[in-house]
Structure 1
Amino acid sequence: MNKKIAIPIEDGMLCAHFGHCEYFYVADLVNNEIVKEEMITPPEHRPGLYPAWVAGKGVSIVIAGGMGEKAKELFRKENIELYVGAERKEPKELVLQFINGSLITGANTCNHDDHHEHSCS
C-alpha cells in the first residue's frame, strides 16, 4: 500500500509546535518501505492553511508533536490520519517507527489554554 507521511521539522528534528516548523519532511512509502524522502518549505503560516497545503502534496498521514484542535479538525476534513504527541526525534526515525508499529504518541505538546493560541494550528 502506498502512503505519504509528512512531519513538521525544526532544527532537523520533529517540531514541537506544528505551525512553527521550518519545513516538512515528506516520505513516500510503498509496501512499507521508504522510496522517496524530501524536505518541503511550507508557505508562510496562517491559521488553517497547512492542512489543505499538506493535502495538496498528496499526504495521507501526519506525525506531529503538538497541534491545536482547529488544525486537527481541518486535517480530519482532508482525510489525513494524525499521530499527535510524538517524541522529538529525527523524522526518518519516526517514519521507521510508524512502519514497524513502535511509534509512541502521547500528550499533545501544544496547549491552547495559554497565551500562544495560534502557534500550533
Structure 2
Amino acid sequence: MKIALPSRQNNIDDHFGHCEYFTVFTINDDNKEITSQETIASPAGCGCKSNIAQILSKMGVKVMIAGNMGEGAVNVLNNAGIEVLRGCSGDVKNVALKWLDGTLVDSGDSCHEHEHGCHN
C-alpha cells in the first residue's frame, strides 16, 4: 500500500495545490513499516484541476495525508479511490509514522478561501 503527502522541504505543505512535490511512502501491510520512499513532481496549476489524483491512484496510493485542501480536491481524490486526512503538519516521515501508529485523524477542515476557483 502507498500513502502520499504534499511536501515542501520534507515537511507537509500547508496547501495541497501549491506543494513542491508529493512524498510517496510504500507501506508493508503485514508489519506496518515504511519500505520505500519516492517523490513525485507536483503538476503545474491547482491540485484539484490537475491529474495528480489519477497519477497517484495508478501508482497505488490509497491515502493522502495533508495540511489543508479544499473540498474540490478532497472530492477529486476520493473519486480516485484515495482517502484524505487533513490537518497534519511537520516532517513527512514523522507524520507517516504517526499515521502508521493510528494516531492521526482527519480534521475535517477544508480550505474555504482559494484564489484558483477549485471549489465546485
Q: In structure 1, what is the Cα distance between the partners aligned to 2:49 and 2:115?
A: 15
Give the match for residue 27 of structure 2.
29
Classify 1:90/1:17 alpha carbon distance in 2 versus 1 (closer, same or farther; 3 Å).
same
The answer to whether the 8 Å contact 2:12/2:92 transfers is yes
Give the match for residue 102 of structure 2.
101
Matched, 1:83 2:82: no
- Cα root mean square deviation, aligned: 2.0
User: Which stretches in structure 2 are left out of the alignment for 5+ residues?
Assistant: none
**Distance apart, 1:43 and its partner CA:** 2.3
Give the match for residue 14 of structure 1.
12
Give the match for residue 115 of structure 2.
116
User: Which stretches in structure 1 are left out of the alignment for 5+ residues?
Assistant: none
* 1:60 aligned counterpart, secondary structure: strand
* 2:100 aligned counterpart, secondary structure: helix
TM-score, structure 2 as length reference: 0.83
**Distance apart, 1:40 and its partner CA:** 1.7
**Distance apart, 1:80 and its partner CA:** 0.8
Q: In structure 2, what is the Cα distance between the partners aligned to 1:99 and 1:111?
A: 25
* 1:98 aligned counterpart, secondary structure: helix
* 2:61 aligned counterpart, secondary structure: coil
Q: Which amino acid aligns with 2:90?
A: K
The answer to whether the 8 Å contact 1:19/1:119 transfers is no
Q: In structure 1, what is the Cα distance between the partners aligned to 2:108 and 2:62?
A: 22
Residues 68-95 of structure 1: per-residue CA shift (max 9 Å, x gap):
1111111111111111111x21111011
Instruction: Give the paired residue count.
Output: 115
Instruction: Indicate the percent of aligned positions where both proteins have the same amino acid.
Output: 31
